[in-house]
Amino acid sequence: MDFPSPLSGDLVAALVFPGVLGIFGFLVVAIWLERKLVARVQWRYGPLYVSRPLGGLLQPVADLFKLVFSELVLPRHTNRLLFAATPILLFFAEGLPVVFIAAAPGVVMAPHSYGLAIAVVLVLLVAVLMVAMAWTEADKFTYIGAMREILLTAAYEVPLLLAALAMFLLYGTADPHKVVEVQSGLWGVLLNPLAFVVYLVALLMATTRFPFEIPEAEPEVVLGPYTEYGSTLFIYAFGANYVKLYVLSLLGAVLFLGGWLPAAGVLGVLITLAKMGVFVLPAMLVRAIYPRYRIDQALRIGWGQLLALSAAAVLWSLLAAWIW
């Protein structure tokens, strides 16, 4: 490892990337990027006046300060402790899967031979906390949002698991290091493009990006599961989906795009970061492209085309493993 001496790989992972700094940094960059990209597609400027030389990159930071120092209102009808705790737990749980994902050889907090599988399962578990948060708020809109969240989870969970299964079958392991090692010849996206497509669509569903932005559909249910929140708690409730996007892009970069290959060390971390863009950029851009599906349409996609595609991906992997 070529990190400065007091920092070992796992400490870098915990503190910088993919740990704490990475999560909060991604929050800032992703929100800015989304606003900027959508604005440019719509022939606008987007955020500009805060830090003009950087193209308004510090606008989300300014928003963050504004939100942190705005009044924290705990509604009377809720359990005040739970009301404050659930968004924190949600945000924390969304970030937890990065513990098991490696960003470069050795840059992983908990090396585990089933690491990526555990990460996938942790990602899927978070929907429970989202529902808990909506339930604590005790509001009609949050109930409806939670119900939609459950149904959307029902739509993407099986395809996402099957896509992961297809890749694990192909690699024969879920250890992030070995998975990337296997991809040194051909990347996973070329080994099994079907699984990649399924993963990309399931990622859009899981992070409720645009065609599937059903739980927080603004014209219908205000802000869905986080209607009641303000101040810092709003950052957590709202930012949790961005953290999920971060985790799933990192997982996707390792599973499908060869992770840190062809480098290692600091350069490897940067390469992983760049490869995450393959998942992040479309997820940001879809806001400018798509209208919103109805919930039954999303379910039909999930259990129709997407399930068929993911079953085909598993069969493809079986065939590939047979030949290889």
Map the footprint of another protein across residues 172-231, applying CB under 8 A: 172-174, 222, 227-228, 231
Candidates 148-156, 186-194, 252-260, 266-274; binding stretch for another protein (CB under 8 A): 148-156
Cis bond before residue 18 (omega within 30° of 0) = yes
Phi-psi region of 106 (alpha: psi -120 to 50; beta: other; left: phi over 0): left
Position of tokens 């990192």?
250
- How far apart are the C-alpha atoms of 82 and 74, rounded to whole Å? 10
- How far apart are the C-alpha atoms of 308 and 318, rounded to whole Å? 15
Residue 304 — φ and ψ, nearest 5°? Answer: -105, -95
Question: Considering only residues 27, 28, 33, 99, which one is a binding residue for another protein as defined by CB under 8 A?
Answer: 99
92: CB partners within 8 A, 6+ apart: none
**Residue 239 exposed, middle or buried by CB count within 10 Å (0-12, 13-18, 19+):** buried
Nearest residue (CB) to another protein, 142 versus 249: 142
Nearest residue (CB) to another protein, 48 versus 57: 48
- How far apart are the C-alpha atoms of 324 and 195, rounded to whole Å? 18
Question: Considering only residues 56, 60, 95, 258, which one is a binding residue for another protein as defined by CB under 8 A?
Answer: 95
3-state secondary structure of 104: coil
- How far apart are the C-alpha atoms of 311 and 313, rounded to whole Å? 5
Q: How far is the CB of 172 from another protein (least distance, A)?
A: 6
Q: How far is the CB of 262 from another protein (least distance, A)?
A: 25
Nearest residue (CB) to another protein, 266 versus 300: 300
Q: How far is the CB of 210 from another protein (least distance, A)?
A: 11
Cis bond before residue 262 (omega within 30° of 0) = yes
| DSSP-assigned letter for residue 324 | -
Question: Considering only residues 165, 266, 270, 320, which one is a binding residue for another protein as defined by CB under 8 A?
Answer: 165
**C-alpha 29: how far from chain center:** 14
Q: How far is the CB of 271 from another protein (least distance, A)?
A: 21
Q: How far is the CB of 120 from another protein (least distance, A)?
A: 8
Candidates 38-46, 181-189, 202-210, 262-270; binding stretch for another protein (CB under 8 A): 38-46
Restricted to residues 288-317, the positions that interact with another protein (CB under 8 A) are 288-290, 295-296, 299-300, 303-304, 307-308, 311, 314-315
Told to check if 44 binds another protein by CB under 8 A, we report yes
Q: How far is the CB of 253 from another protein (least distance, A)?
A: 19
Restricted to residues 240-299, the positions that interact with another protein (CB under 8 A) are 282, 285, 288-290, 295-296, 299
Nearest residue (CB) to another protein, 262 versus 316: 316
